[in-house]
A and B are shown apart, each in its own frame.
Chain A
Amino acid sequence: MAKELWEGNAAIAEAAIRAGVEAFFGYPITPQTEVLEHFSKRLPELGRVFLQAESEVASINMVYGAACAGARVMTSSSSPGVSLMQEGFSYIACSEVPAVVTNIMRGGPGLGNVQPAQGDYFQAVKSAGHGDFHMIVLAPANVQEAIDLMVLAFDLAEKYRTIVMFVADGSIGQMMEPAEMPPMRPVRPPEERPDWALTGAQGRKPNIITSLYLGAENMERVNLRLQAKLKEIAANEVRWKEYSTEDADLLLVAFGTVGRVCQTVVREAREKGLKVGLLRPITLWPFPSGRIAELAEQVRGVLVVEMNAGQMVEDVRLAVEGRRPVRFYGRMGGPIPLPDEILPEMEKLDAECR
């Protein structure tokens, strides 16, 4: 298929449609409303389900219900709405039904603003809801990657019967870029829904989907099973991209929009004679800790750049385990860190690590 000009948010919705999403439940919030609007136009014309819910609490529970039925389903929101969904994330994780959620992050805390930000890293990666669980967290850096990861999100959600969060920021959601859509996958017919799903106990024992395990031992057994699954995900699904790391002796780590900005930083730094490489995590959970640990052996120092007060940098430090200095540069609440600001930080790191 040829490249077309796509706006990020519409592309995310269309990619989900191509991936066979059967239902979307959501609530408007900037800067992701175009996701909902695209679904509202496309899903009815395809005979699929679109519903504007009364709140994000309702939309995530509609997703939970439809996921229990074994349907491919998703919701989408932005930071304040995602906070409201966290109860649902926890129930979905424990019940082990597949669901996809996008967070087109905006400035916070509180109502914040509608500018691009990455302040929800901790929420997505470390504290998605109460209890012990992780979501798989995917972070695209451009519109094409957003499309590709959206398709992957459904496959991972169903493969592991887990919740997959797709985090981007408003700048990816609202930028226009040439990108290629995958071909339309047929929607899975209801008679092919998975055997664990609630489809009516016809000629079989009833299926029960619950997150309630009253006995201590019982609850621990479920937790151990969930942890084993997370371990398997961590072993198989780590994704990242590297730029000019082969000979690098200074490492940049950045994700999403900032990861993209840092590609320019690598180029400009190299023009100045600094051997800088970039690692851009694509899965924020599971985190590419192993590869960062390897690169820590190779480089003199690491600079992490984010659109927050320093969140992913904690995971980088955990991976580096004190082998090398790990420094941080960030902007909060809307400003995107630009190469002109990042380059001096890189030079400082270079001087520090001589």
Chain B
Amino acid sequence: MATVEIPADMELVYKYPESLTEAHTHYCPGCTHGVIHRLIAEVLDELGVRERTIGIAPVGCSVLAYYYFNMDFAEAAHGRAPAMATGLKRVSPDKVVFTYQGDGDLAAIGTAEIIHAVNRGELFTTIFVNNAIYGMTGGQMAPTTLPGQVTTSSPYGRDVETAGFPIHMAELVGQLPGAAYVTRQAVLDVPGIRRTKKAIKLAFQTQLAGLGFSMVEVLSTCGTNWHMGPLEALEWAKEHMVEYFPLGDTKMTDRVRALKEGK
């Protein structure tokens, strides 16, 4: 990375996060995984915890997240990241632990692991990327796929009569007493990206304060498997996903609210 002298009369206001490596990601053009990685990295930098953070990557498109985050990382089996995070955090209570999971990983194969980790109030943070599809395996139906949505394994559109309805994980998880802060955000435009960053920061602050489990569900796009260009994908998500998956907090305990308001 090039280093530049900053003239004395200027102030550095924006830089490449230390919590990211310099590796180029393998994500498709327009994929929002990269944006979300960057937001997490900025937050960890701002909180000054990079050197005591341990991430857990899922099985999914972000399986190689450990190449992009500049910190200790483990790679879990499909859906098991919350169980791994539980084991890790229980024996390392002074570390900051987070899982990064897709919707197939968290809301299908790993449903039991996430629900019980939340229910125990495990002190880690989950970043849950909902792109309404299985990206890595080539665009099959996910538990979050919208009714009628065509995927490679729902070629006639998701039929809720036979395939069930999309799962609202933020609502489901937010109900559990172990959850301290759960929210759904979207990285589909600049204001949304800013709000998502604030949410991610609050989620990690919740963990640092030992207040309970925290999760940020992030509505995301998969232009490649939706067969759309990057901009079209953002528009489609705004039009269809946000309607089905309303944005906002599904859980904020009083103590998290006090933390947010700086009390």
Q: Judging by beta carbons under 8 Å apart, are B87 and A198 in contact?
A: no
Q: Judging by beta carbons under 8 Å apart, are B51 and A68 in contact?
A: no
Q: List 21 A-B contacts (CB under 8 A).
A: A23-B87, A49-B90, A53-B116, A54-B115, A58-B86, A61-B80, A64-B87, A65-B84, A65-B88, A73-B87, A87-B77, A88-B77, A91-B76, A190-B91, A190-B92, A190-B94, A198-B54, A200-B95, A206-B66, A209-B74, A212-B75
Q: What number of A residues sit within 8 Å (CB to CB) of B?
A: 40
**B50 at the binding interface (Cβ < 8 Å):** yes
Q: Judging by beta carbons under 8 Å apart, are B76 and A61 in contact?
A: yes
Given A55-B112, A69-B92, 10 further pairs, Cβ under 8 A: A49-B90, A53-B116, A57-B113, A59-B83, A65-B87, A69-B87, A91-B76, A91-B77, A190-B94, A207-B73
Mark out the residues of chain B between 47 and 96 whose CB falls within 8 Å of any chain A CB in the assembled complex. 50-54, 56-57, 63-64, 66, 69-77, 80, 83-92, 94-95
Separation in Å of the A122 CB from the closest CB of chain B? 23
Q: Judging by beta carbons under 8 Å apart, are A22 and B83 in contact?
A: no
* A50 to chain B: closest residue by CB: B90
> A208-B73, A210-B66 are contacts. A61–B113 as well, Cβ < 8 Å?
yes
Q: What number of B residues sit within 8 Å (CB to CB) of A?
A: 37
**A62 at the binding interface (Cβ < 8 Å):** yes
Task: List the A side residues contacting B92 at CB < 8 Å.
Answer: 69, 71, 190, 198-199
Which of B63, B70, B87, B95 gathers most chain A CB within 10 Å? B87
Q: Judging by beta carbons under 8 Å apart, are A198 and B86 in contact?
A: no
A residues near B (Cβ < 8 Å) are: 22-23, 25, 49, 51, 53-55, 57-59, 61-69, 71, 73, 87-88, 91, 95, 190, 198-203, 206-212
Q: Judging by beta carbons under 8 Å apart, are B51 and A203 in contact?
A: yes
Task: List the A side residues contacting B52 at CB < 8 Å.
Answer: 200, 202
Task: List the A side residues contacting B116 at CB < 8 Å.
Answer: 53-54, 58
Separation in Å of the A246 CB from the closest CB of chain B? 48
Q: Judging by beta carbons under 8 Å apart, are B88 and A66 in contact?
A: yes
Q: Judging by beta carbons under 8 Å apart, are B51 and A65 in contact?
A: no
Q: What is the CA–CA distance of A23 and B69 in the complex, to the nearest angstrom?
A: 28
Which of A59, A87, A200, A203 gathers most chain B CB within 10 Å? A200
**Among B66, B84, B90, B112, which residue has its beta carbon within 8 angstroms of that of A208?**
B66
Q: What is the CA–CA distance of A212 and B100 in the complex, to the nearest angstrom?
A: 16
> A61-B77, A71-B91 are contacts. A53–B83 as well, Cβ < 8 Å?
yes
* B63 to chain A: closest residue by CB: A212
Task: List the B side residues contacting A73 at CB < 8 Å.
Answer: 87, 91
Separation in Å of the A63 CB from the closest CB of chain B? 6
Task: List the B side residues contacting A91 at CB < 8 Å.
Answer: 76-77
Q: What is the CA–CA distance of A58 and B82 in the complex, to the nearest angstrom?
A: 9
Q: Judging by beta carbons under 8 Å apart, are B112 and A206 in contact?
A: no
